[in-house]
């Protein structure tokens, strides 16, 4: 039975169309109330379902936010603890160093002060004592009748001469002692300088400690903020984490570039060792071997950095006792050195292989062009060997940006997930509301399809409408349409 | 926690092993095998210098692990004795280069001392090539026919045999025009069409390169 058999109720398609329209309109008009209810129920179910889903997602978003906050604060706390710990270690080093020097410094200062004191004592200005018999001269001079007495005069002249001589001698001696005093005073200068230098050193050390204590205070404030989970601390940590993420990602990209160059340096000569045709999982074994060497170098670099306690990706290595840790440093460094030597050798081999390949190609071309051995060829060979040797050590430092990247990645991933969840919530709410209002829209479309019987119904109602029955009629309308549409 | 981790670890390990196994199961070797037929009949021996250039070009293009054989087309070519030189290049590039040089020298010696044959058995050579390539087991197979494609069988030789060339590319090189072709070019075109039909009906692909300066893409499968 084809569609035409069902559709063609009459010979004329137009007439059949009208007939079907009439039938369907009648059916839809009869089922109108139930259809409206079904449409509203369906859209309400969708709306409620999506609203509930949005609520669940909101809960997940809240949990994710809390987790992010927790992770951020924990990371911030650990980082600040690490910084404070380092500051205290530095203070400890300074104090230990200065305190160990303190007895020597004290002895130096005491000795210098004693010497200064002695010199000071020695340089005290002692005025020469006046001659004791000056008063006797005065007494002789006061003897009555001595004036004009030549004998007295002679005595006094003798005394005067003696006094001049004594004065000259004393003055000379005084000059000598003054000179010696000045020498002592000038000899004090180096001691003063030493004392001054020692005190300046003490002042410098004290200032350094003061600066460290200021730095610790600042970090302690940050630590307290983090402990309190303040908004400011959160913002600062979040911003710092994002910055760290982008910087470390950039540095890692550079490192990847270095690793690729390293790979190209050793992949070709590796085919000489492991064969150029064998494949593993669709890749050439020589390439996989080269990649493995580079990855082993990176792993050794990570262990070296861990053992040096520069990074903290593996707490187990950091927690090893110092003796074992130092052993590990030497072992990893030894392996790295060996791999660097291997790479340098491979780089040299690469150059040889390329020369051999070029010679063979030239021979096969048969164009008479000989491969000329350039005198500058050793420069490229040496450069390749140097790169082969240095790059493994350079790759060691990947550990530092890698640590930052891993730590900041947790935060960044958290932020991204929260953003995704928020977008999902928005999408769910939008879809829910669209579903909700599409119910009313579908009802209107439904009514549009059965506009003819509705119009007739309206005409009947209009004619039957009497003043006394107006309120009753409106109440019926309300029940039939209003209550549904308002729901 | 340990109880949870162990099955997960085992599962990952198994998945990796399955992946490796599946890779090796459907693995198609990435190596190439080239078999070149050199027509040494009559006046075509004059073209062998060109053939030598082609051989050198092929040698320069092949990689370690690839296989290369050069055989002559003479009165009865379905014979291993007609293979002038054959090699499967070593895995190590340095050894492969050495093999290439030795191969080149061998071909040079042959070209220098070659004597023309009375008849031309190209089909026999093709059959020998198919046999050799099947034994080589390379991922991609190529037969180069350096000839004017004019078959001239000795009386009694039966060569009305369908060629099994599934997955084999056949390239006719330097298909020179004979004097009779100049008189009636249809002969030349018919000859080419006949070989094309023969190769394609056997499951192979057919190509003609007369300009030997355009050999660059010859080994790209």
* Least Cα separation, residue B100 to chain A (angstroms): 8
Q: Say whether residue A281 is in contact with chain B using an 8 A CB cutoff.
A: yes
Closest CA to A238 of A418, A75, A58: A75
Whether B28 shows a pLDDT value over 70: the answer reads no
A285: nearest CA partner in chain B: B91
Whether B95 shows a pLDDT value over 70: the answer reads yes
How long, in residues, is chain B? Answer: 221
Place of tokens 């039966």: B158
Sign of CA dihedral A434, A440, A445, A449: positive
Predicted TM-score (pTM) of the model is 0.64
pLDDT at A116: 82
Alpha carbons A236 and A244: distance in angstroms, whole number? 12
User: Strand B168-173 vs strand B205-209: parallel, antiparallel, or unpaired?
Assistant: parallel
Alpha carbons B78 and B129: distance in angstroms, whole number? 9
CB spacing of B31 vs A356 below 8 angstroms? no
- Give me the percent of chain A exceeding a pLDDT of 90: 33
CB spacing of B100 vs A353 below 8 angstroms? no
CB spacing of A271 vs B91 below 8 angstroms? yes
CB spacing of A364 vs B59 below 8 angstroms? yes
For residue B59, list chain A residues with Cβ-Cβ distance below 8 A. 364
Whether A44 shows a pLDDT value over 60: the answer reads yes
| Residue B200 CB burial class (10 angstroms; 0-12, 13-18, ≥19) | middle
pLDDT at B55: 93
- Quickly list DSSP for chain B: -HHHHHHHHHHHHHHHHHHHHHHHHT-----EEEEEEEE-BGGGGGGHHHHHHHHHHHHHH--TT-EEEEEEE-S---SGGGEEEEEE--SSHHHHHHHHHHHHHHHHHHHHH---BSSB-HHHHHHHHHHHHHHHT-SEEEEEEES----BPPTT---------TTEEEEEE--PPPHHHHH-HHHHHHHHHHHHHHHHHTT-EEEEE--TT--GGGG--
Element (H, E) at A250: helix A231-274
| Residue B100 CB burial class (10 angstroms; 0-12, 13-18, ≥19) | buried
Mean pLDDT of all residues belonging to chain A: 84
Token duo for residue A403: 């640590």
3-class DSSP assignment, residue A283: strand
- The answer to whether the beta carbons of residues A250 and A332 sit under 8 Å apart is no
- The answer to whether the beta carbons of residues A395 and A255 sit under 8 Å apart is yes
CB spacing of B93 vs A279 below 8 angstroms? no
CATH of span B32-212? 3.40.50.410
Whether A51 shows a pLDDT value over 80: the answer reads yes
Q: Compute how many other C-beta atoms are within 10 angstroms of the C-beta atom of residue B1.
A: 5
- Quickly list DSSP for A183-247: HHHHHHHHHHHHHHHHHHHHHHHHHHHHHHHHHHHHHHHHHHHHHHT-HHHHHHHHHHHHHHHHH
* Least Cα separation, residue A315 to chain B (angstroms): 19
How long, in residues, is chain A? Answer: 487
Place of tokens 């035409």: A4
- Quickly list DSSP for B62-119: --TT-EEEEEEE-S---SGGGEEEEEE--SSHHHHHHHHHHHHHHHHHHHHH---BSS
Per-residue confidence at B18, pLDDT binned at 50, 70, 90? low
Q: Say whether residue B60 is in contact with chain A using an 8 A CB cutoff.
A: yes
Q: Say whether residue A279 is in contact with chain B using an 8 A CB cutoff.
A: yes
Q: Say whether residue A369 is in contact with chain B using an 8 A CB cutoff.
A: no
* Residue A468 per-residue DSSP state: G
Q: Say whether residue A371 is in contact with chain B using an 8 A CB cutoff.
A: no
Query: What integer is the mean pLDDT of A154-178?
Result: 83
Alpha carbons A87 and B217: distance in angstroms, whole number? 68
Whether A477 shows a pLDDT value over 70: the answer reads no
Alpha carbons A74 and A237: distance in angstroms, whole number? 10
Q: Say whether residue A272 is in contact with chain B using an 8 A CB cutoff.
A: yes
For residue B102, list chain A residues with Cβ-Cβ distance below 8 A. none
pLDDT tens track for B37-51: 999 887 788 888 889
| Residue B40 CB burial class (10 angstroms; 0-12, 13-18, ≥19) | buried
| Residue A2 CB burial class (10 angstroms; 0-12, 13-18, ≥19) | exposed
Query: What integer is the mean pLDDT of B87-96?
Result: 91
- The answer to whether the beta carbons of residues A313 and A236 sit under 8 Å apart is no
Q: Say whether residue A363 is in contact with chain B using an 8 A CB cutoff.
A: yes
For residue B108, list chain A residues with Cβ-Cβ distance below 8 A. none
Half-sphere exposure of B150 (CA within 13 A, CB side): 18
pLDDT at A249: 94
CB spacing of B60 vs A279 below 8 angstroms? no
Query: What integer is the mean pLDDT of A234-259?
Result: 89
Whether B1 shows a pLDDT value over 50: the answer reads no
Q: Diameter of chain B by CA atoms? A: 89
Per-residue confidence at A402, pLDDT binned at 50, 70, 90? very high
Per-residue confidence at A236, pLDDT binned at 50, 70, 90? confident
Q: Say whether residue B97 is in contact with chain A using an 8 A CB cutoff.
A: yes
Whether A485 shows a pLDDT value over 70: the answer reads no
Q: Compute how many other C-beta atoms are within 10 angstroms of the C-beta atom of residue A306.
A: 24
* Least Cα separation, residue A376 to chain B (angstroms): 23
Half-sphere exposure of A167 (CA within 13 A, CB side): 7
Q: Say whether residue A361 is in contact with chain B using an 8 A CB cutoff.
A: yes
* Least Cα separation, residue B86 to chain A (angstroms): 17
Mutation choice for A interface testing from B18, B19, B66, B97 by most A CBs within 10 A: B97
Q: Say whether residue A418 is in contact with chain B using an 8 A CB cutoff.
A: no
């Amino acid at each position: 039975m084809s569609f035409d058999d069902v559709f063609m109720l009459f010979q004329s398609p137009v007439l059949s169309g009208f007939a079907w329209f009439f039938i369907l309109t009648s059916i839809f008009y009869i089922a109108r109330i139930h259809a409206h209810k079904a449409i509203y129920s369906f859209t309400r179910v969708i709306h409620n379902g999506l609203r509930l889903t949005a609520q669940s997602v909101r809960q997940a978003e809240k949990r994710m936010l809390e987790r992010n906050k927790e992770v951020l604060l924990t990371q911030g706390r650990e980082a600040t603890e690490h910084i404070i710990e380092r500051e205290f270690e530095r203070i400890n080093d300074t104090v230990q160093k200065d305190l160990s020097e303190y007895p020597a410094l004290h002895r130096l200062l005491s000795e210098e002060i004693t010497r200064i004191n002695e010199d000071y004592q020695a340089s005290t200005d002692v005025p020469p004592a006046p001659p004791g018999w000056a008063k006797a001269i005065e007494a002789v001079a006061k003897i009555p009748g001595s004036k004009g007495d030549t004998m007295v005069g002679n005595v006094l002249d003798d005394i005067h001469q003696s006094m001049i001589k004594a004065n000259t001698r004393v003055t000379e001696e005084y000059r000598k002692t003054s000179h010696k005093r000045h020498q002592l005073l000038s000899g004090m200068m180096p001691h003063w300088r030493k004392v001054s230098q020692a005190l300046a050193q003490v002042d410098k050390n004290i200032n350094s400690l003061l600066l460290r204590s200021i730095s610790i205070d600042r970090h302690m404030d940050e630590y307290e903020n983090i402990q309190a989970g303040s908004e400011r601390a959160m913002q600062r940590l979040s911003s710092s984490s994002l910055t760290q993420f982008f910087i470390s990602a950039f540095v890692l990209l550079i490192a990847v570039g270095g690793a690729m160059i390293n790979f190209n340096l050793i992949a070709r000569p590796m085919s000489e060792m492991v064969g150029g045709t064998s494949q593993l999982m669709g890749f050439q074994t020589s390439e996989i071997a080269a990649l493995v060497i580079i990855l082993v170098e990176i792993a050794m670099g990570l262990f070296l950095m861990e053992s040096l306690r520069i990074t903290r990706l593996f707490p187990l290595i950091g927690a090893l006792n110092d003796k074992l840790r130092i052993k590990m440093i030497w072992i990893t460094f030894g392996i790295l050195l060996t791999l660097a030597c291997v790479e340098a050798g491979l780089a040299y081999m690469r150059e040889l292989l390329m020369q051999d390949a070029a010679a063979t190609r030239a021979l096969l071309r048969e164009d008479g062009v000989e491969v000329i051995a350039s005198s500058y060829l050793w420069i490229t060979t040496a450069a390749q060997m140097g790169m082969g040797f240095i790059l493994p050590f350079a790759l060691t430092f990947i550990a530092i940006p890698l640590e930052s990247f891993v730590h900041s990645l947790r935060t960044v991933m958290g932020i991204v997930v929260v953003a995704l969840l928020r977008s999902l919530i928005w999408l769910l709410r939008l879809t829910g509301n669209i579903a909700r209002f599409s119910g009313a829209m579908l009802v209107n479309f439904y009514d549009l399809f059965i506009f003819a019987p509705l119009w007739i119904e309206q005409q009947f109602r209009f004619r039957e409408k009497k003043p006394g029955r107006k309120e009753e009629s409106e109440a019926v309308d309300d029940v039939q349409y209003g209550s549904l549409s308002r729901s | 926690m340990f109880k949870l981790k162990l099955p997960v670890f085992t599962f990952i390990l198994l998945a990796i092993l399955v992946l490796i196994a599946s890779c090796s199961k459907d693995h198609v070797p990435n190596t190439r095998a080239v078999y070149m037929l050199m027509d040494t009949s009559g006046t075509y021996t004059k073209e062998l210098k060109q053939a030598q250039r082609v051989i050198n070009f092929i040698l320069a293009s092949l990689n370690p692990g690839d296989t290369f054989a050069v055989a002559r087309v003479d009165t009865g070519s379905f014979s291993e004795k007609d293979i002038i030189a054959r090699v499967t290049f070593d895995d190590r590039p340095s050894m492969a280069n050495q093999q290439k040089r030795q191969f080149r020298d061998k071909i040079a010696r042959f070209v220098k001392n070659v004597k023309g044959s009375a008849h031309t058995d190209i089909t026999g050579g093709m059959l020998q090539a198919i046999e050799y390539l099947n034994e080589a087991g390379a991922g991609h197979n190529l037969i180069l026919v350096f000839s004017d494609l004019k078959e001239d069988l000795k009386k009694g030789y039966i060569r009305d045999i369908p060629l099994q060339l599934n997955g084999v590319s056949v390239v006719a090189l330097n298909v020179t025009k004979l004097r009779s072709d100049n008189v009636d070019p249809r002969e030349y075109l018919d000859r080419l069409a006949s070989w094309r039909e023969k190769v394609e009906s056997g499951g192979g692909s057919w190509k003609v390169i007369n300009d030997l300066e355009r050999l660059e893409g010859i080994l790209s499968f």
